[in-house]
Amino acid sequence: MPCEIAAVVSNHDDLRGYVEWHGIPYHHLPVEAGARAAHFDAIAEVFADLNPDVVVLARYMQILPGHLCQNYAGRLINIHHSFLPAFAGARPYHQAAERGVKLIGATCHYVTEELDAGPIIDQDIARISHHDSVDDMVRKGKDIEKIVLARGLRFHLEDRVLIHGNKTVVFE
């Protein structure tokens, strides 16, 4: 992809060695109970130092405060593990299983202050059946998530996305 990874900022420390092995700076900023504001202040400092063209949220699972969404509008990209607008928020595969859906998907979208409701860049789906367990859905969904995030990020990096209100025009 036409980009340079400036850093990885994570609320988990699992992949530090892998990231640093690639020569990429790693910032571990855990979310401590009762200290969310301090966590987001630390993220804002790192972002201010890096001045990134784009920030990718993958498996972050935190709701960004409004000031970060506003300061980086059109530059925050999230991968959500459902075919939005269906099953926003946490545990979408469990929600899908409860509803008996026949398709699951993933959505790459820009982050806004409204949870999982930003302009959609890319989506894809996989067919499932009553034979599929939640674990099967998660496994199939993770494959879709990787493809959709890579495609959506590439579209963004190649300046092929125009944001118009809460919609996008994507030039493929």
State the catalytic residues: 116
CA atoms within 13 A on the CB side of 91: 6
Q: How far apart are CA 136 and CA 105, in angstroms?
A: 13
Mention every residue, 6+ apart, whose C-beta is less than 8 A from residue 89. 115, 116
User: Positive or negative CA dihedral for 8, 147, 162, 64?
Assistant: negative
Give CA separation, 91 vs 8, 11, 67, 108, in Å.
Answer: 24, 19, 26, 17
Give the 3-state DSSP-derived string for 94-106, with helices as H, strands as E and coil as C.
HHHHHHCCCEEEE
How far the first Cα of the chain sits from its last, in Å, is 15
Minimal CA–CA distance to 70: which of 89, 47, 86? 47
